[in-house]
Structure 1
Amino acid sequence: MSMPLLSLYRRITRWPAGHWLFSRAVCFRAPYFSTISPRFVMLEPGRCEVRMADRRRVHNHIGTVHAIALCNLAELSAGVMAEATLPASMRWIPQGMTVQYLAKARGTMHAVAAPEVAAVESAEGYEWPVVVRVSDPAGKEVFRARIALWLSPRPKH
């Protein structure tokens, strides 16, 4: 995407079907995430909300949302939040993820990603923890992930 992600989100989501179009653009850039058909519903510095529709292709053998689909939703929402939050001089990469399955995940999932602490510009790399909470249609938290993102300065060309 040629323009910064947050600017693109703000421009596109003013249009009819803009949230759908933005979601498609993100999945075009990172095709693997299209497997969960995400829909971005809100993006601002320090917060990203994404929905994943209840579809058979994200179910496991017992008819609930598959654990890895939930992990994909968490990684996507954390990564897009990071992209929209970090100063242009910093970059990120996922370093690790710890997850908790709190209840059976049924229905459309709603993920909210937010950092535990504010990101700061730094000449050195450091770990930046992001928490993603995923709720079911009733608002019950069914999954939680803590994702360690590694932040480092962008190389100067």
Structure 2
Amino acid sequence: MSKDNRLARLVKKIESYPTFLRKPLLNFALRKTVKLVGTAKVEVLQLTKTHSEFRLQNRKKVQNHIGTIHAAGMALIAETATGMVVGMNVPDDKVPVIKTLKVDFLKRANGDLVAKAHLTEAQIQDILTLEKGEVEVAVTVTDVEGKEPIECQMIWAWTPKRR
């Protein structure tokens, strides 16, 4: 495998801090970098090169007119989980961009949402070795009842950074 990129180095550095500081520090860094993630207070539960897990609490500021998490918030948590796991792997001379964000709303969500995304070793190899490309990132979003209120297709691309 290749050397760590900027995000992976940050996560590794944060992991050297005492356990009680790790999540607050990682949340602070991610929320400051991606403003909408900060506004919605999306919370990182796990972030590695192969897996990510994020939670969005059903708070007033992210609710729709029926008291559940707004459709945009549901899409945001899936996009965040997939984007961050891709972001852990994209070399520093490339930039990750969302190419397809397709969300099918299946049922009313109940309470908080958790999004889990993962990449295969083959997908990671492509990200590390191809000049540019795209990957469909597997993601599931579940509510407090363990049900999946949405089904998503998230395709991320990476391209060389503009000089």
Q: Indicate the TM-score class for this superposition, using the shorter chain for normalisation.
A: 0.7 to 0.9
Name whichever structure is richer in helix by fraction: 2
Gaps of 5+ in 2: none
- In the superposition, the TM-score normalised over structure 1's length comes to 0.85
Q: Which residue of 2 aligns with 1:122?
A: 130
Q: Secondary structure at the match of 1:118?
A: helix
Q: What's the CA shift string for 1:45-91, capped at 9, x where partnerless?
A: 12110011120111100111110001111111111111112344543
Q: Which residue of 2 aligns with 1:142?
A: 149
Q: What is the CA-CA distance between 1:22 and the residue it aligns to?
A: 0.8
Distance 2:149 2:73 in 1: 13
**RMSD across aligned positions (CA):** 2.1
Q: Which residue of 1 aligns with 2:50?
A: 46
Q: Say whether the 8 Å CA contact 1:53–1:107 is kept in structure 2.
A: yes
Distance 1:58 1:32 in 2: 11
Query: What amino acid is the match of 1:146?
Result: Q
Q: Percent identity?
A: 24
* Alignment length (residue pairs): 153
Which of residues 5, 9, 29 in structure 1 aligns to 2:11? Answer: 9
Q: Which 10-residue stretch deviates more, 113-122 or 71-80?
A: 113-122
Q: Say whether the 8 Å CA contact 1:101–1:143 is kept in structure 2.
A: yes
Q: Say whether the 8 Å CA contact 1:122–1:153 is kept in structure 2.
A: no
Matches within 5 A, 1:6-155: 6-13=8-15, 14-15=17-18, 16-115=20-119, 118-119=123-124, 120=126, 121-123=129-131, 125-154=132-161
Gaps of 5+ in 1: none
- In the superposition, the TM-score normalised over structure 2's length comes to 0.82
Q: Say whether the 8 Å CA contact 2:109–2:149 is kept in structure 1.
A: yes
Q: What is the CA-CA distance between 1:98 and the residue it aligns to?
A: 0.8
Name whichever structure is richer in strand by fraction: 1
Distance 2:142 2:108 in 1: 10
